[in-house]
Structure 1
Amino acid sequence: MEGRVLIIAGSDSGGGAGIQADIKTATALGGYAATAITALTVQNTQGVFDILPINPNFIAEQIKCVLMDIGADCIKIGMLHSKEVIETVAVTLKSFAFDIPIVLDPVMIAKDGTTLLDPEGVATLKHDLFPLATLITPNIPEAQALTELTIRDLKEMGEAAYQLQELGIPWILMKGGHLLGNHLYDILISKNNRKIFKSRRIITPHTHGTGCTLASAIATGIAQGQSIEDSCTYAHHYVQKAIQTAVGYGKGKGPLNHNHTVTSPFSKEIIHN
């Protein structure tokens, strides 16, 4: 087990996204996951039905408690459901984690279209947390909400990524899965680098938690000492295989197979005996 990842995100009762997906991903890639839970959600593969916020002070105490004892080699941030939570997380990280790389997945819209962050929260996210991030991983709807640009193709993805970089973020991974076509394109941009990840679209409804999984895989790679570019490359391979091998749980958008890297040490014969 190598690489400590502190995950600050919401809980998904269905297990496909959020904290649950993050823990599975870090574990499957050989890392160690600690958590600070920001909200409890009532959800499954068919949608998000309710959200129970966690008190911001309690979130801060979770973060402090982990960092003062276990520590972290990378921090992954997911769902932050309100302005107050974002402000609290930002202040806490400035005090306790100022030198730790941060991968921020700006979770603003659920897979079923549910809005998870109001406009005031979006503004606070950009002002308070983006400057602390090492890498952010917006998808097309999130990038459009953050930049107020229309994104219809690869060129416009790049334009939006460069606009976001002006907010003081060293690396942007713009995810293009919402665009039409047989191939998917993600763009990784820094001040001096630009890399395009191209993959064939996998026709499946079982993509719940893809964004959470990708960001956590990247954070785990960084925690294990990989470069950001290498971490993004490996994370893409991991997520592609997790989608390809999804088992089809649920009646809606099912979870990925986070465990495709794991081989059980117990055979069926041992279990049956």
Structure 2
Amino acid sequence: MNPPVALTVAGSDSGGGAGIQADLKTFAAQGVFGTSVITAVTAQNSADVLGVERLDPSFVDLQLEAVLSDLPVAAVKTGMLGSAATVTALSEWAAAGRLPNLVVDPVMVTSTGRRLLDDDAADAYLRLLFPHAAVITPNTREASLLTGMPVDDLSDMERVATELARTGAAVVVVKGGHLGGGRAPDVVLAEGRIAVLDADRVVTGNDHGTGCTLSAAIAARLAAGDETSSAIGAAKRYVTEALRGAAGWHLGTGHGPLDHFGWAAPVGG
């Protein structure tokens, strides 16, 4: 029996902690066959992003055609897209029904503060890509940039989730990991109802690629046939345990990676 197939459309992280590297490890840990379309190549490590080289949207298109014409992709996640042109190109595939179970992680800024998205690309996300998404997963900083609203607490998270739902995204997940305190709540808005997925905050410096891992895990579970709410819950638990698993690691001088295989949750488990 063939495994489910998922696709990540994102940038490459030479340090291996985030981007397509984190996505493909997450897919494998979930028992899903992973494929990839690279939008940019970054020179980065745990401490900094030294450079970014974006691929032309036409070559992103060519990679998409290569994968989607040959493999039965059941879910797609997007990460770093970088430019309005690439966001627009992806939206055309989505509008044509070629990107099933689309999970959009609107990567905008690195954990070190480097901007990864052109200013005009935020509008392209809102108008063109979010309306086709099964799930969108902005963190609090991204949600604030996308809506122009401050996000400082749980009530703010609920407010921006409601605003982002107006784009037409089926489910909005606003990640609260950047808020202070001892908890790590995520706000989920689906079918007009808000739920809070709460967890103990894992105190660790090894948190690079957390957002990539969450969106990839959601896509993996959707590819396997999980209902959206179940996929999001399973992904949240997976990320929490991947953070715990790496708590004793000392890889790099900055924000270290997660332990993607320390607590694998295979499809059906």
The TM-score, its normalising length taken from structure 2, stands at: 0.94
Q: Secondary structure at the match of 1:161?
A: helix
The match for 1:212 is: 212
Cα distance in 2, alignment partners of residues 233 and 248 from structure 1? 28
> Which has more radius of gyration?
1
Higher mean Cα deviation, 33-42 or 187-196? Answer: 187-196
What amino acid does structure 1 have at the position aligned with 2:262? H
The match for 2:45 is: 44
Shift of 1:200: 1.1
The TM-score, its normalising length taken from structure 1, stands at: 0.93
Higher mean Cα deviation, 121-130 or 24-33? Answer: 121-130
The match for 1:184 is: 184
Q: Secondary structure at the match of 1:242?
A: helix
What amino acid does structure 2 have at the position aligned with 1:23? L
Cα distance in 2, alignment partners of residues 184 and 130 from structure 1? 24
Cα distance in 2, alignment partners of residues 116 and 232 from structure 1? 25
Cα distance in 2, alignment partners of residues 130 and 55 from structure 1? 22
Cα distance in 1, alignment partners of residues 60 and 97 from structure 2? 13
Cα distance in 2, alignment partners of residues 142 and 205 from structure 1? 21
Verify the 8 A CA contact 1:29 1:220 in the aligned structure 2. Answer: yes
Higher mean Cα deviation, 87-96 or 193-202? Answer: 87-96
The match for 1:33 is: 34
The match for 1:266 is: none
Gaps of 5+ in 1: 263-273
Verify the 8 A CA contact 2:241 2:263 in the aligned structure 1. Answer: no
The match for 2:135 is: 135
Shift of 1:93: 3.1
Describe the superposition over 1:12-52 as per-residue Cα deviations: whole angstroms up to 9, x where unpaired: 00000000000000001100111110000000000111001
The match for 1:255 is: 257
Verify the 8 A CA contact 2:245 2:263 in the aligned structure 1. Answer: no
Misfit runs of 4+, over 3 Å: none
CA RMSD in angstroms comes to 1.4
Gaps of 5+ in 2: 265-269
What is the correspondence of 1:235-246 to structure 2 with a 5 Å cutoff?
A: 235-246=235-246
The match for 2:267 is: none
Describe the superposition over 1:202-245 as per-residue Cα deviations: whole angstroms up to 9, x where unpaired: 11111000000000001000000111111111111111111111
The size of the alignment, in residue pairs, is 262
What is the correspondence of 1:50-129 to structure 2 with a 5 Å cutoff?
A: 50-95=51-96, 97=98, 100-129=100-129
Cα distance in 2, alignment partners of residues 96 and 39 from structure 1? 24
